[in-house]
Structure 1
Amino acid sequence: MAQTYPLPEYSSEKLKELIQGPGDVEWTYEMRRQCQEILPRLYLGPLQASKSLDTLKSLGITHIVCIRDAKEAFSVRPRFPEHFQYMVLDVQDSEEQNLIRLFPQAKQFIDQAIAQGGCVLVHCNGGISLSPAFVVMYVMQHHGLSWEDALHLVQNRRYCISPNGGFLTQIKEYESIYKATNAVAAYPQQRESAPRRKRSEEDDEDSLQREGARTKRALVDDDEDDAMQT
């Protein structure tokens, strides 16, 4: 069996620290052109961060999610397919674009990469609106956070992010979607345990009925013996 390397699970106190972000980082304008580590082995950044092979290798990047508007395909593209595994998502960087429909395949790609011990960079052109929306949804679902906490966690590591109004609305909507999905996934376990409890209760009731019947027969037999003796 292949070894897996899942992201660590954190206590509620540790999550609060993560949401607040590192307190010793002084954000500079130049950092907009760099990528930042949002979770262990998950980076977020702009196109610029995906163009330096040396930088990507120094960070240990193995997988790249390249998110782009179709009209950007000439410049926002996989540049080192011989070195990294890519997922390319062609979307429209507009408020009408449905990100929720595209997110599951991106999440699966990131999950598989990290489980294999990989390190993932998620980027779009500017790393301001489009790719951050995907990363916020990923962080939200992975750690079971509210959309506000997930947004703050990402923003406190890459200060320049600002998902557009349409993307922000979808981020809010996704909170209820992933929570409903989790509830549905847990429901079969509840259904399995309920019949067992019901069968146990029925068994107890049958046992009581059998015991009652035996007691009744014994009383009848005693009455018949008394009658014969008299």
Structure 2
Amino acid sequence: MSLLEAILQKKQRLRSSETLVTLPSGQIYRETLLDGITTVSLVQNVSSPGYVVDTKPDFSVSHILTHLCMGSQDVVQDQALLLQHKITHVLSIGVPAVGLVAEFETLFIEALDLPETDLIPVLEKSIAFIDHARDVQGRVFVHCNAGVSRSASVIIGYLIKEGMSFIHAYQYLKERRKVVNPNEGFISQLKKYEATLKKQNPI
């Protein structure tokens, strides 16, 4: 058997593979490898910036715990409102707070509102920042774009870390901010996060 024949025979034994690729824009492509040839096709053409679109101003501040509040990015545009609610720290998930005065301690964490976004590093940084604010008797305002998915996931993760179950944390938050609705990928990761904490701290 010649080298060329061996290569062709081996190539014929290669299994085809298929991969879905989601871009930050929300477009989903299918990459298919068959007989050594990769083809790309558009599966879903959604004009999405990777977060829940904020269609109208929302200046509501939802108080979750003594040291913890949440809402939309609109709130951080009104510094008088932040001061009115005794906010000292601002945690921005995926959407940076612009123009805040120096008296606010801020942290920006990059995160797209997509199911495949790795939520765990976001949670770890967020929880450390929230705990820091609590330790200095501060109050944190957590926001993303609309205060629906990313910031809600961070709050739920924090409540789980504080000892609540996922279900309890979700219901507790929903009672205080009815519009919260983490994407399915975040919900799955939060449930796994709860399971991991239970293994680390068995009762």
Q: TM-score, normalised by structure 2?
A: 0.68
Q: Percent identity?
A: 29
Equivalent residues in 2 for 1:186-201, closer than 5 Å: none
Flag the 1:152–1:32 CA change in 2: closer, same or farther, 3 A: farther
Q: Which runs of 5+ in 1 are unaligned?
A: 1-29, 187-230
Q: Which of residues 135, 138, 141 is equivalent to 1:118?
A: 138
Contact 1:32 1:160 in 2 (8 A): no
Structure (1 or 2) with the greater strand fraction:
2
Is the 2:58–2:74 Cα contact (8 Å) retained in structure 1? no
Q: CA deviation at 1:141?
A: 1.4
Q: Which has the larger radius of gyration?
A: 1
Structure 1 residue ranges, 4+ long, deviating more than 3 angstroms after superposition:
30-33
In the aligned structure 1, how far is the partner of 2:133 from the partner of 2:101?
A: 15
- Equivalent in the alignment of 2:49: none
Confirm whether residue 149 of structure 1 aligns to residue 149 of structure 2. no
Structure (1 or 2) with the greater helix fraction: 1
Residue 83 of structure 1 aligns to which amino acid in structure 2? E
1:77 correspondence with 2:97: yes
1:112 to partner: Cα distance: 1.0
Structure 2 counterpart of 1:86: 106
Looking at structure 2, the residues matched to 31 and 148 of structure 1 have their Cα atoms a distance apart, in angstroms, of: 29
Aligned to 2:77: 51
Unaligned runs of 5+ in 2: 1-55
Q: Which residue of 2 aligns with 1:208?
A: none
**What is the letter of the counterpart of residue 89 of structure 2?**
H
Q: Is the 8 A contact 1:66 1:78 kept in 2?
A: no
1:6-25 to structure 2, matched below 5 A, reads none
Q: What is the match of residue 150 of structure 2?
A: 130
Aligned to 2:8: none
1:170 matched to 2:196: no
Q: Shift of the alpha carbon at 1:81?
A: 4.1
Aligned mates of 2:186, 2:101 — CA distance in 1: 29
Residue 58 of structure 2 contacts residue 75 of structure 2 at CA under 8 Å; is this kept in 1?
no
Are the structure 2 counterparts of residues 31 and 147 from structure 1 closer, same or farther at C-alpha, using a change threshold of 3 Å? farther
Letter in 2 for 1:176: A
Q: Distance in 1 between matches of 2:183 and 2:102?
A: 34
CA RMSD of aligned residues (A): 1.8
* Structure 1 residue 91: Cα displacement: 1.1
Kept in 1, the 8 Å contact 2:67–2:133? The answer is: no
What residue number does 1:207 align with?
A: none
Higher relative contact order (CA 8 A, sep 6+): 1
